[in-house]
Every structure is written in structure tokens, then in C-alpha cells.
């Protein structure tokens, strides 16, 4: 169970003060926490052998507005547990205030949980397998259109610092996809696409497949059209309480892939990074000393 379960503590603490019926209800809840989240109050009451009203009364006794607060508490706990082990800050604590005051917090906690959920064993296995495939490739072509451009570009950028094996399938004047010209079976295509799927991404992935490339996909669903085309699929959620999808989990996946690849060849990566450093230093790209500010 949860480490710091405030509600459970409160129930235990005030158990002695409760009336017999309340105790019976409380005892059942303590011993069947998951059921609280999964069945209705009336059914829970039936199973606990008490009246429905007793559950409501128990909630009031615990200084809660109603029974729904008990349920939502255990729902959250179950969600958390199912999600994995996200060290999530206490749910909806100080969310008062401004228009979107709650929104920002909710979004961030949601994102945190989504990223945490990526460390499920299946996903980890797919990540490892995908890294294997990418590590063995002669070239890695990276494709991400529209919203997924950010993820594709980020992967490409990091990999550029680590070596010169990646080709980003993008460019001005629609020439981006010419890169696939010389691609072959020794190469791998990393394609990122989420619903709604850009037609062009699917076409290119299919083409790559026909040319014999292996395909690694970062996408959002088991029924994504990329699943049928790809050798390895890494699923990441894109749900958000806004109007648009989130790409934060996808970016996390991309970064993990980079990390895995770098870890496979520590010395090589380090050397490549040093070279990159020298190159960038020669071009004076970065501010090495904090510049005088001249407001």
C-alpha cells in the first residue's frame, strides 16, 4: 500500500471512537481497499454487511464531504499503484486560486505519471530491443512530421553529437525525404507519429520497409498503423487535459533511446562529444563566460 496514506491513518486513529456499525464499515474498507475503488458504495455496503447510509456517515465522521471522497482517494491510490511508482506529489492539495491555477498543476502531475508509466516491463523491453536494433544500424534515418518533428529533431540532434550515423528526413523545399534514396537493409528507420497520423509518415515508413530497412516506431497505440509496419514499437501515451496531445512522454522515450545508445559505447560517445565540443568552441557558438549585461 501507499507509504503515506493519510486517510488510512485517520481511520485507524479514530477507529475507537466509532460506533459499532461505523467500525464494521471502516474495518471492511481497511481490509479491502481496492474494492472501494472498484465497486459502488451500495455494493460495498452489502459486502461489508452495513447499510448504505453507514458509508456516507463514515465519510462525514472522517470530516469528509461525502463518500465519493473516500472512493476517489482509493482510486488515486490504485491508479498510482497501477501506474508504477510515480513519486507523485499529494493529489490536488493547494490547487485553489487562479483561472488555470489547477490546470498547470494537473497537467504537470499527469505528465509525470505518464512518464513514470513508461517504465513498465514491456516498454522497457521494447526500449532495449529498439536500442539493439539502432545500435547495429549502418545509418539511422529519423522521421517525424508535424507535431512529432520536435521529437525527431531532438533525437537527431543528440545523435549528431554522438556520431554521424543519423540522417534527419526533413529539410526545406520538400527535399527532406530524399535521404532515403541510398538507404538499404543495413539501415534502420526511426519513425515517430501519433494520432492523427500524417499520411506522409506512413507512406515513407512503408517505403522504407519495402527497401528492406528495419523500422522502429514511437507511437501512441497498439492499433496505430505503424504497428503493422514496424519491427519494434514503443508505445507512449499522449493523453492530455488540453485540446491537443502531449509529446512529453514521446520525448522522454527519445531521450532514453539516446541514453541507451550512448551507454552501449561509452568511450566512443565520450570521444565524439569532445570532438563536438571542440568544433563548437572553434565556431564560438556558446557563451563560455557569462556576457556582460548591457541593459
Partner DNA sequence: CGCGCATTGCAACAAGTGTTTCATAAAATT
Partner DNA sequence: AATTTTATGAAACACTTGTTGCAATGCGCG
Residue 255 to residue 258: CA distance in whole angstroms:
5
Whether the Cβ atoms of residue 115 and residue 240 lie closer than 8 Å to each other: no
Of the candidates 9, 40, 5, which has an alpha carbon nearest to the alpha carbon of residue 26?
9
Alpha carbons 113 and 252: distance in angstroms, whole number: 12
User: Which x/- pattern, by CB under 8 A, does the window 200-239 give for a copy of itself?
Assistant: x-x---x--x----------xxxx-x--xx-------x-x
Among a copy of itself, DNA, none, what does residue 231 contact (CB within 5–8 Å per kind)?
none
| Residue 89 touches which member of DNA, a copy of itself, none, C-beta under 5-8 Å by kind | a copy of itself
Do the beta carbons of residue 170 and residue 152 sit within 8 Å? yes
According to CB under 7 A, which one of 9, 47, 60, 212 is a site residue for DNA? 60
CB 217 within 8 A of CB 205: yes
Nearest CA among 60, 78, 74, 89 for reference residue 8 = 74
The reply to whether 241 sits near a copy of itself by the rule CB under 8 A is: yes
Interaction of residue 56 with DNA, rule CB under 7 A: yes
Give least dist CB 158 to a copy of itself, A: 6
Q: Residue from 59, 208, 218, 256 that binds DNA (CB under 7 A)? A: 59
Query: Per rule CB under 7 A, is residue 215 in the interface with DNA?
Result: no
196 cis-preceded (ω within 30 degrees of 0): yes
From 42-50, 105-113, 152-160, 180-188, span contacting DNA (CB under 7 A): 42-50
Give contact residues for DNA (rule: CB under 7 A): 19-22, 40-43, 50-57, 59-60, 65-68, 71
Amino acid at each position: 500500500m501507499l507509504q503515506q496514506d493519510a486517510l488510512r491513518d485517520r481511520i485507524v486513529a479514530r477507529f475507537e471512537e466509532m460506533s459499532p456499525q461505523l467500525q464494521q464499515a471502516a474495518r471492511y474498507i481497511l481490509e479491502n481497499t481496492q474494492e472501494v475503488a472498484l465497486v459502488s458504495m451500495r455494493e460495498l455496503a452489502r459486502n461489508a454487511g452495513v447499510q448504505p447510509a453507514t458509508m456516507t456517515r463514515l465519510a462525514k465522521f472522517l470530516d469528509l464531504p461525502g463518500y465519493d471522497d473516500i472512493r476517489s482517494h482509493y482510486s488515486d491510490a490504485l491508479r498510482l499503484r497501477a501506474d508504477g511508482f510515480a513519486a507523485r506529489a499529494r493529489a490536488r492539495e493547494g490547487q485553489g486560486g487562479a483561472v488555470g491555477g489547477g490546470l498547470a498543476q494537473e497537467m504537470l502531475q499527469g505528465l509525470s505519471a505518464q512518464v513514470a508509466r513508461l517504465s513498465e516491463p514491456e516498454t522497457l523491453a521494447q526500449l532495449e530491443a529498439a536500442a539493439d536494433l539502432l545500435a547495429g544500424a549502418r545509418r539511422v534515418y529519423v522521421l517525424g512530421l508535424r507535431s512529432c518533428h520536435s521529437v525527431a529533431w531532438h533525437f537527431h540532434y543528440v545523435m549528431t553529437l554522438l556520431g554521424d550515423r543519423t540522417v534527419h528526413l526533413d529539410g526545406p523545399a520538400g527535399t527532406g525525404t530524399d535521404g532515403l534514396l541510398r538507404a538499404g537493409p543495413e539501415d534502420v528507420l526511426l519513425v515517430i507519429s501519433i494520432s492523427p497520423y500524417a499520411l506522409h509518415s506512413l507512406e515513407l515508413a512503408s517505403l522504407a520497409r519495402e527497401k528492406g530497412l528495419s523500422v522502429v516506431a514511437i507511437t501512441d497505440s497498439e492499433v496505430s498503423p505503424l504497428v503493422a509496419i514496424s519491427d519494434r514499437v514503443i508505445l507512449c501515451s499522449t493523453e492530455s487535459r488540453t485540446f491537443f496531445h502531449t509529446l512529453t512522454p514521446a520525448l522522454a522515450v527519445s531521450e532514453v533511446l539516446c541514453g541507451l545508445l550512448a551507454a552501449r559505447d561509452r568511450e566512443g560517445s565520450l570521444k565524439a562529444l569532445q570532438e563536438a565540443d571542440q568544433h563548437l568552441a572553434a565556431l564560438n557558438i556558446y557563451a563560455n563566460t557569462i556576457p556582460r549585461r548591457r541593459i
